[in-house]
Chains A and B, each alone.
Chain A
């Protein structure tokens, strides 16, 4: 089946540094990927939609300069959290749209802790 590989699964970084999270579609081409943030015991909050070869579309309230999204190829989308602060600590999940309206497949998530 369609698999999205997300790395790293967890990362700890110091305040002020940047962290990059990668999502790769392993056996299909993902023209559209989605990035979510999930707080403990809460639902997924869509941050942005990335389309291969074009600028990402950010949801209202999401700082595009803090959460940089790049979707340079049909199999790779990255989320970079720039100048991370403790309040950016969260669980980040990517998702790829499957063709033919077969829904979506999700990465395994990245737990980011900023200290």
Chain B
């Protein structure tokens, strides 16, 4: 069974600075997808970024980028130029390609951006 571990329950960062959230996962699958979701105080789950395991290039979405290390089974999220609106819970999630369609979530990291 796949597991996703987020070792940082809480983090804080000053506005305009850069912060990195860590995520590691365990799987025997070779093909899979990884996601970072954001859950702001409204509790709406919002997709931040996704990565296909077969792609070596790290995904980037504006201020958000990932450092995907397949061999190390690591998938960290870097937020550049942090904004107050980035304050949220961030969940790392895994989905195997084919087979089960379930998303496996980590326990989340609460990020606070301070003015």
Contact = CB atoms under 8 A, between A and B. Distances in A.
A49 B101 contact: yes
Contacts, number: 46
A66 B108 CA distance: 28
B97 interface: yes
B56 interface: no
Contact of A43 (B52, B97, B106): B106
A106 interface: yes
Interface residues of A, number: 20
Interface residues of B, number: 22
Interface in B18-48: 33, 35, 37, 42-47
Given A43-B108, A103-B50, A49 B102 contact: yes
Given A106-B45, A108-B42, A44 B101 contact: no
A111 to B, nearest CB: 8
Interface of A: 32, 34, 38, 41-44, 46, 49, 91, 93, 95, 97, 101, 103-106, 108-109
13 contacts: A42-B107, A42-B108, A43-B105, A43-B106, A43-B107, A93-B43, A93-B45, A97-B101, A101-B97, A103-B33, A103-B50, A106-B44, A106-B45
